[in-house]
Amino acid sequence: MYTIKGKTGDWEVVIGLETHIEVLSNSKIFSGASAHYNPTVAPNTQVSMVDAAMPGMLPVLNEYCVDQAIKFGLGINAEISRVSRFARKQYFYPDLPQGYQISQPADQPPVVGRGWIEILDDDGNPKKILIERAHMEQDAAKNKHDMHPTKSFVDLNRSGVMLLEIVTFLDTKNPENNSYISSPDEAERYLRKIREIARALGVSKANMEEGSMRADVNVSVRRVGDKKFGTRTETKNMVSFKFIKTAIEYEAHRQVEILENGGTVTQDTMRFNQGDGTTSVLRSKEDALDYRYFPDPDLLPLVIDDERIERIRKTMPELPEATRARYIEKFGLNEYDAIRLTETIDISHWFDTAVGDKPERAKSVANWMISELFAHPENYDIENQKSGIVDGMRIITPSDLAELVDMISANEINGKQAKEIFIKMLDGEIGSPKNIADKFGMKQMTDASAIEKVIDEVIANNPAQVEQYKSGKVGLFGFFVGSVMKATGGKANPAIVNEIMKKKLS
């Protein structure tokens, strides 16, 4: 259990996260303007009259965005509300032309209701983190400020892109229910799990670097053993796992120091200072009442039927956690390899395609992907599954790697030859691994009688080493094997060489 040791005793930390992910869709949530993120696009070129809040323009709900929200809700084991509504969230938004945000009200069921995901706690045990809701809303625009203090600009390209806000649940009626985040490391694991699910389902890129995933971090502290939760603060718009953990640690220690000195923690919105890793008060924290929600008169209630939910459920891919379990149980992979092969849904699909209907390939394919293929990202197209020559580079396909692994298993080539074939493919050699092996004479020598003849010659040409070996210098065995491999140009089957050589020398 993560605790803070204060001057007057131990304190525990209670953490809530409000995670925003930008939803992938061709157009924005309430308009037909493009929702594709591209930092090279000129400012204010992906904007409709609705996004710019021109008089008389009415929002129209994007049906695909609703499907994306439902899909994510199913991915976090959540209840899907059959009826939900949109409201105007009144707030000063310098980067939203309407002056309000279209969201789903906090006091009514959102499209995605109560759910949960499972992470590992700090002791390595499974822990269920409860999620209160995930509601749909529009993203704001982006303010830009130049070096002159009197000039600011706004880029509306991002305005109106759909957000899902995922809010963790704190059971205030049952303070002993610990299904909440209670350490900085658990916060990171939770966010990584949210990102993993969103990416696997194709709901969001969830990329913190480009701002398509951000988190508001709520922190409070209470003495170990206390039943009552403390007053929380909220640190806004965090876009780095490292900074989120730093902010939690600093803010928790700050609150402990205040309370131990007889002070009171106030419900404030905090700013994180990246330079020194501290937090400072930005403004007093708003409650839901302060936003003055009222139903958006331009949008009808959102009604979702069971048929729609089941249709979406049938399109969902296997989530990475289930894929990892399958790789470990079915293929005997270790946990590290299973994690590497499920970093994205495209990587796991590439692996599954290479393994095909031959589970005996799995370990070898995994080894080649992790140790060789991942080192050359320019030579494989995980995402689009292309083949041939792309931008002057040979693209290695799942069938290429499957054939290479099968040739090793069938003793057609040895490991050294396989590596040479792989390098030739990286260098742009056209043709299947078998074609390349034939072209460059890389077939493995498996004729035992031919190998035995070479072994006899090596033994005959090295009598001194033979005597030394028989006298106890068993380390010379590698010398004899190496000599045979050299004499055969590396083509002799190493297993056959070892077997015959042992018999001859003994």
Q: What is the pLDDT of residues 144-175, one digit of tens each?
A: 887 666 788 899 999 999 999 999 999 888 76
Same domain, 80 and 15: yes
- Low-confidence winner among 251-255, 275-279, 441-445 (lowest mean pLDDT): 441-445
Mean pLDDT of the chain: 91
Question: What is the dihedral sign for C-alpha 436, 441, 442, 447?
Answer: positive
- Give residues with Cβ within 8 angstroms of 300, minimum separation 6: none
H/E stretch holding 330 reads: helix 320-331
pLDDT of residue 228 exceeding 60: yes
Same domain, 108 and 244: yes
The pLDDT of residue 48 is 96
Task: Give CA–CA dist 87/66, Å, rounded.
Answer: 16
Same domain, 201 and 76: yes
Alpha carbon 151 to its chain's center: 38
Q: Which CATH number characterizes residue 496's domain? A: 1.10.10.410
64-91 residues labelled b (16+ CB within 10 A) or e (exposed): ebbbbbbbbbbbbebebbeebbbbbbee
Contact by Cβ (8 Å): 255, 47: no
Alpha carbon 198 to its chain's center: 8
At CA 312, angle to CA 310 and CA 318, rounded to 5?
A: 105
pLDDT of residue 358 exceeding 80: yes
Strands 268-273 and 233-238: what pairing?
Answer: parallel
Percent of the chain at pLDDT > 70 equals: 95
Task: Give CA–CA dist 493/500, Å, rounded.
Answer: 11
Task: Give CA–CA dist 196/203, Å, rounded.
Answer: 10
pLDDT-derived band at 506, boundaries 50, 70, 90: confident
**Residue 18, burial from CB neighbour count under 10 angstroms (0-12, 13-18, 19+):** middle
Tell whether 312 is covered by a domain: no
Q: Which of 255, 250, 287, 281 is nearest to 268 (CA)?
A: 281
The pLDDT of residue 392 is 61
User: Which residues constitute the domain of residue 112?
Assistant: 3-307
pLDDT-derived band at 405, boundaries 50, 70, 90: very high
Same domain, 251 and 349: no
pLDDT tens-place string over residues 381-392: 665 555 555 556
Q: Which of 466, 4, 470 is nearest to 230 (CA)?
A: 4
Return the bridge partners of 116, or none. Answer: 130
Check residues 148 and 444 and name the one with the higher pLDDT: 444
H runs (alpha helix) in 184-303 = 184-200, 241-260
pLDDT-derived band at 227, boundaries 50, 70, 90: confident
* Cβ-defined contacts of 302-311 (< 8 Å, 24+): 302/61, 302/66, 302/83, 302/84, 302/85, 302/86, 302/111, 303/82, 303/83, 304/66, 304/70, 304/80, 304/81, 304/82, 304/83, 304/84, 304/111, 305/82, 308/67, 308/70, 309/70, 309/74, 309/80
The pLDDT of residue 382 is 60
- Give residues with Cβ within 8 angstroms of 79, minimum separation 6: 73, 112, 113, 114, 115
Same domain, 390 and 495: no
Domain boundary, last residue among 277, 307, 337: 307
Q: Which of 214, 277, 225 is nearest to 251 (CA)?
A: 277
The pLDDT of residue 384 is 52
- In whole angstroms, how far apart are CA 38 and each of 64, 85, 157? 20, 31, 9
pLDDT tens-place string over residues 327-345: 999 999 999 999 999 988 8
Contact by Cβ (8 Å): 61, 296: no
Residue 52 tokens read as 């710019």
pLDDT-derived band at 257, boundaries 50, 70, 90: very high
Tell whether 155 is covered by a domain: yes
Same domain, 256 and 136: yes
Mean pLDDT over 191-201 rounds to 97
The pLDDT of residue 383 is 56
The pLDDT of residue 385 is 53
The pLDDT of residue 326 is 97
pLDDT tens-place string over residues 287-325: 655 678 899 999 999 999 999 999 999 999 999 999 999
Mean pLDDT over 419-440 rounds to 91
The pLDDT of residue 148 is 66
Number of structural domains (the chain) is 3
Domain boundary, last residue among 256, 275, 307: 307
Tell whether 67 is covered by a domain: yes
* Cβ-defined contacts of 90-96 (< 8 Å, 24+): 90/291, 90/292, 90/293, 90/294, 91/286, 91/291, 93/140, 94/143, 94/154, 95/140, 95/141, 95/142, 95/143, 95/154, 95/159, 96/53, 96/138, 96/140, 96/141, 96/159
Task: Give CA–CA dist 478/469, Å, rounded.
Answer: 11
Mean pLDDT over 113-140 rounds to 96
pLDDT of residue 113 exceeding 90: yes
Check residues 388 and 109 and name the one with the higher pLDDT: 109
Same domain, 475 and 433: no
Same domain, 71 and 153: yes
pLDDT of residue 414 exceeding 90: no
The pLDDT of residue 291 is 74
* DSSP state, residue 241: H
Same domain, 27 and 156: yes
pLDDT tens-place string over residues 77-89: 999 999 999 999 9
pTM of the model: 0.84
Return the bridge partners of 388, or none. Answer: 395
- Tokens 């296997």 locate to 318
* Cβ-defined contacts of 254-258 (< 8 Å, 24+): 254/279, 255/219, 255/220, 255/221, 255/230, 256/4, 256/6, 256/11, 256/221, 257/6
Tell whether 255 is covered by a domain: yes
Same domain, 236 and 191: yes
Q: Which of 33, 40, 250 is nearest to 160 (CA)?
A: 33
Same domain, 207 and 342: no
- Tokens 């971090």 locate to 217
Percent of the chain at pLDDT > 90 equals: 70
Same domain, 113 and 137: yes
